[in-house]
Amino acid sequence: MFKIMLTDTVFSDFAVEEEEIRKIGATLALATYRDEAEMVAALRDADGLINHFAPMTRGVMEQLSKCRVISRCGVGYDNVDVAAATDLGILVAHVRDYCIEEASTHTFALLLACARRLFPIDRSVRAGRWDHAAGRPMRNLATQTVGLVGIGKIGSATAKKALAFGLKALAFDPYAKSAGPDIELVSFEALLERSDYICIHAALTEETRGLFSDAAFARMKPTAYLINGARGAIVDEGALLRALSERRIAGAAVDTVVQEPPDPDNPLFKLDNFIVTSHVSWYSEESIELLRRENARAVSDTLTVGRPKYLVNPEALKKVRRTP
């Protein structure tokens, strides 16, 4: 009988996951621990792991001699050392096809909040003013350009919404051969220079970490807005603070920051041209259900048929520890 462990969870129970795991006759339990040594002891005998945020480092995985798969509960997997997992023959899975509508809708909601200057106008009304002064300058969306950094499923869905509102769409994605109808693939530099709104939908990798630096902000229009619905560390927060404080760009709206939960004293939070939401772009009741089931299925599929639906490191198949 396979033993599957939850390394951690943000949910109040794991009934959904357990329902899926029982279909293959496996057991599922939630690990409890206070430090890394206790975590390793709790996970040591597991055939597969369902992971939320617990760091899966090389040092941890080297001690999990039975583990064949780690399934990350989400699209991103930056808390898993994928190179180490590959060396050790551990498959890394994620859930790539959930929250596409939710995340793209949230991104576009942030874009609209910037475009229509909703928060400055709200503050103005609450302060006793009833005019359009707080909304100036405001532009017709049909005269504007959105730039997508990353044109995968969520980026493409965001572009579709933008095109429906009449915006022109650019995309930068070094892994994309085409971007779809009415979306122009351009260099990163061209996207920075031509976009009125830049929406980040890229994965956090060594190549994208700190991608939005002082140099990147210097290339953006002074009237442009940055919208980050991906990972906080793609943006150098020091550089963003300088760009916003000095009004070198018009504003930023983010659903994710480098440190989560953030420090309440984060200086970005004191700026009037900065909007932040609490990493909720993935959320709907429907997306939670899909995420939890697909995450559990990735583990059960690996243990029964040899690979998950969405495999991050196919190179590990050559080194996998045990065939089903």
The residues assigned a catalytic role are 231, 260, 279
Question: Which of 115, 77, 73 lies closest to 199 in space, CA to CA?
Answer: 115
Strand partners, 171: 148, 185
Check if the beta carbon of residue 186 is closer than 8 Å to that of residue 170: yes
User: Cα separation of 114 and 120, whole Å?
Assistant: 9
| DSSP run (H or E) holding 72 | strand 69-72
- Residue 163 identity (one-letter amino acid): L
Rounded to 5 degrees, φ, ψ at 119 are -70, -45
Tokens matching residue 89: 């023959």
Q: How large is the greatest C-alpha to C-alpha distance in the chain, in angstroms?
A: 69
Cβ atoms of 248 and 223 within 8 Å: the answer is no
Rounded CA separation 304/308 (Å):
10
Half-sphere exposure for 280 (CA within 13 Å, toward CB): 7
Task: Classify the C-alpha dihedral 161-163-164-167 as positive or negative.
Answer: positive
